[in-house]
């Protein structure tokens, strides 16, 4: 599945648009259509490698709100169409 995000390619780089392939959904996975994402100070520190080495390219942001698009066969707590915050 193709998806889009804003990526940091190295510690001193700005955020830039990026399109990439996601792995297939696993049995315990939940796929989301993200409506909003926040980038907080911890994302910035990690992207700048201020807390140690980072893995690049990096798509920062972990405070997200969206809708469940697909669930793996083992998922029982979420259903397609659920609105969620992570």
- Is beta strand 30-38 parallel, antiparallel or unpaired with respect to 63-71? antiparallel
Mean pLDDT of 1-13: 92
What pLDDT sits at residue 50?
96
Give the CA distances from residue 23 to residues 13, 17, 46, in Å, rounded to whole numbers and listed in that order: 26, 19, 23
pLDDT band at 1, cuts 50/70/90?
confident
Q: What is the CATH number of domain 2-85?
A: 3.90.180.10
* Band of residue 62 on the pLDDT scale cut at 50, 70, 90: confident
pLDDT at 29 over 90: yes
Section 57-71 average pLDDT:
94
């Amino acid at each position: 599945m193709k998806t889009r995000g804003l990526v940091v390619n190295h510690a001193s780089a700005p955020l830039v648009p990026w399109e990439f392939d996601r792995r297939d959904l696993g049995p315990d996975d939940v796929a989301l259509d993200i409506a909003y994402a926040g980038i907080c100070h911890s994302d910035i520190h990690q992207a700048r490698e201020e807390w140690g080495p980072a893995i690049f390219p990096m798509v920062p942001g972990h405070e997200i709100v969206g809708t469940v698009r697909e669930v793996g066969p083992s998922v029982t707590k979420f259903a397609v169409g659920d609105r969620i915050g992570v």
